[in-house]
């Protein structure tokens, strides 16, 4: 990557390729990083931490988007602005600045595939992102995660400029809604999934 690059958007990169790349990431002025990091089931868990080490050096990041990219042209995310009741209905919500071409967000039950990516947990190295003080948006739509209350509370406490978190926090539906409620009570919007058009 170019040292002066501020925005990088790619489709998918294999975790193994990132780890085996001997070149350091030199784009320390990067503000928007949009790429999916695909992970195989047999990839060593310590590789996640190596990616967090690299991400932590990008101290100007405002948007970190690890979402599975194939949905972008046909789908939109869903901001869940309802109460903590997982069965509550949510009306269409206007959301500014999510993507320039998108203004209406609708809630539907997500029933698609969740793709493997780095684990956004403290045990995997999430805490290394503490230096990303300007991070406003963290996205991992269509990515499998097993986040806990501790992970979400860490995000709220240490990533103080975060305004939205997008993704399915935990494969357990009840736990996912509970974690989303923590963010919502702190005034942080969360996108729980994408919906097919």
Q: Determine the 3-state secondary structure of 9 from DSSP.
A: strand
pLDDT confidence of residue 137: 96
The whole-angstrom separation of Cα 170 and Cα 100 is: 29
Q: Could you report the per-residue pLDDT of 111-169, keeping only the tens digit for each?
A: 467 888 999 999 999 999 999 999 999 999 888 899 999 999 999 999 999 999 999 89
Task: Decide: 122 and 109 in contact? Cβ < 8 Å.
Answer: no
Asked whether the predicted pLDDT for residue 49 surpasses 90, the reply is yes
Between 112 and 189, name the one with better pLDDT. 189
By the 8 A CB rule, do 48 and 119 touch?
yes
User: Alpha-carbon distance 129 to 96, whole Å?
Assistant: 26
Q: Are 124 and 45 in contact (CB under 8 A)?
A: yes
Max mean pLDDT among 62-71, 79-88, 103-112 falls in: 62-71
**Has residue 19 got a pLDDT over 60?**
yes
Does 91 or 130 have the greater pLDDT score? 130
Residue 70 is given by DSSP the state: G
122: which residues sit within 8 A by CB, 6+ positions away?
150, 151, 154
Phi and psi angles of residue 90, each rounded to the nearest 5 degrees, phi first: -125, 130
Quick one: average pLDDT of 43-62? 94
What's the pLDDT at 22? 67
């Amino acid at each position: 990557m170019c040292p002066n690059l501020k925005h990088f958007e790619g489709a998918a990169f294999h975790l193994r390729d990132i780890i085996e790349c001997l070149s350091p990431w030199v784009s320390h002025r990067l503000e928007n990083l949009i790429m999916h990091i695909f992970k195989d089931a047999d990839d060593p868990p310590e590789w996640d931490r190596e990616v967090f080490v690299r991400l932590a050096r990008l101290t100007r990041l405002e948007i970190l988007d690890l979402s599975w990219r194939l949905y972008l042209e046909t789908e939109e995310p869903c901001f869940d602005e309802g109460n903590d009741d997982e069965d509550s209905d949510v009306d269409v919500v206007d959301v500014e600045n999510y993507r320039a071409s998108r203004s209406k967000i609708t809630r539907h039950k997500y029933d698609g595939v969740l793709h493997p990516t780095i684990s956004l947990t403290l045990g995997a190295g999430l805490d290394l992102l503490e230096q990303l003080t300007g991070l406003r948006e963290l996205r991992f739509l269509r990515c499998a995660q097993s986040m806990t209350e501790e992970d979400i509370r860490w995000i709220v406490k240490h990533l103080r400029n975060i305004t939205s978190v997008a993704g399915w926090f935990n494969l357990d539906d009840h736990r996912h809604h509970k974690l989303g409620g923590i963010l919502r009570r702190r005034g942080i919007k969360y996108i729980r999934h994408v919906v097919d058009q």
